[in-house]
Amino acid sequence: MTFLEVPTDISAVLTAVETKYSDELCKKEEKINMLGKENDSLKEQVKKYVSAIQMLRRDDEGLQKALDGLQLEQQPDYKVEAKIFEKKLVQVAEMHAELMDFNLMLQQTICKKEAHIELVKSELKY
């Protein structure tokens, strides 16, 4: 038969719980900061991809007119490259959406943890 050890110093228990949750909170905040930086980086990449695609579309029209005037036998196919860039842009946009969802989930988890910490603190005060 085993007996549970009951702590005699409730402040020590409260301190241990607060330390544990503050450590977890710090880790979560670091992860959120890291994901935020990565999110910002992805936003910049998306902007670059969008501008590249817009430039390709503009260049494609002008280049096509110039090539038609020159009547070259082999014309480069920029439409294929533009389609590839568009596919990459869609992939980046999907990754960005996934990161935004993950960020939201992490924020909700942190809020739940904080509410739980407050509940534990209030229970330990009484």
DSSP 17-78: HHHHHHHHHHHHHHHHHHHHHHHHHHHHHHHHHHHHHHHHHHHHHHHHHHHHHHT-SS---H
Query: Is the residue at 3 inside a domain?
Result: no
Query: Is the residue at 110 inside a domain?
Result: yes
55 vs 2, residue with greater confidence: 55
Amino acid of residue 89 = L
Query: Is the residue at 23 inside a domain?
Result: no
Total-model pTM: 0.37
Residue 43 near residue 96, CB atoms below 8 Å = yes
Tens of pLDDT along 34-51? 888 888 888 888 888 878
Query: Is the residue at 119 inside a domain?
Result: yes
Instruction: Give me the domain span that covers residue 70.
Output: 38-125
CB atoms within 10 A of CB 41: 10
Q: What is the structure's pLDDT at 2?
A: 53
Query: Is the residue at 92 inside a domain?
Result: yes
Query: Is the residue at 90 inside a domain?
Result: yes
Residue 38 near residue 99, CB atoms below 8 Å = yes
Q: What is the structure's pLDDT at 66?
A: 66
The count of domains in the chain is 1
